[in-house]
Amino acid sequence: EIAGYGLAIVVTWGLSDAFLHRRHIRIDVIYFLMPTGIRVVLDIVTLLVMLLVMIYLGRATVDMTLMAIEFGSLSSQPLYLPLAPIQGMWAAGVVVFVIVMLIVTVLVARELARGNIAGVQELLAPPSTSESIEEELAAVTAQKDDES
């Protein structure tokens, strides 16, 4: 019971980090074969669709948390834990993710207004293989420096 609640909370809080560091799953094989213009359009459409879905989910999680507070809901498992704090942490993670996505959406709109396609790609596009390798090499170098 507790593991399930913990998983839900950790996942929602981890969404923002994965999104900001472009660590979410994509089908890169097809993506990098497309022209830059199509990739940018797909990135923006993906951002907007995901934002709408998360706004809906965020509203639902906040409503569920408010109902749990109002009715003093308890879990149906043997521990009978109060659900309001658990659902509150879950809802907070979703709301933070929505806020992060809104900020990124504003930054993307700013880059588009400036005509800076590279800036949009930096915000939304998955890292290329060479970027991933450079990041890993930098991490290894930093780790070796710390050990010295």
How far, in Å, CA of 127 to CA of 47, rounded? 16
Instruction: Supply the pLDDT for residue 56.
Output: 98
List the end-to-end C-alpha distance of the chain, in Å, as a whole number: 44
Instruction: Supply the pLDDT for residue 132.
Output: 78
Number of H helices, E strands in the chain: 6, 0
pLDDT in tens, 57-75: 999 999 999 999 999 999 8
Angle of helix 117-124 relative to helix 83-114, nearest 10 degrees?
160
Instruction: Supply the pLDDT for residue 133.
Output: 85
Residue 148 has pLDDT above 80, yes or no: no
How far, in Å, CA of 143 to CA of 35, rounded? 37
Nearest to 15 by CA among 54, 63, 49, 41: 54
The values of phi and psi at residue 77, to 5°, are -85, 170
pLDDT in tens, 75-132: 887 889 999 999 999 999 999 999 999 999 999 999 999 999 999 999 998 887 787 7
Instruction: Supply the pLDDT for residue 30.
Output: 84
Tokens (6 digits) for 2: 């507790």
Q: How confident is the model at residue 26 (pLDDT cuts 50, 70, 90)?
A: low
Length of the chain (residues): 148
Residue 13 has pLDDT above 90, yes or no: yes
Tokens (6 digits) for 119: 């800036």
pTM here is 0.85
Tokens (6 digits) for 94: 């979703």
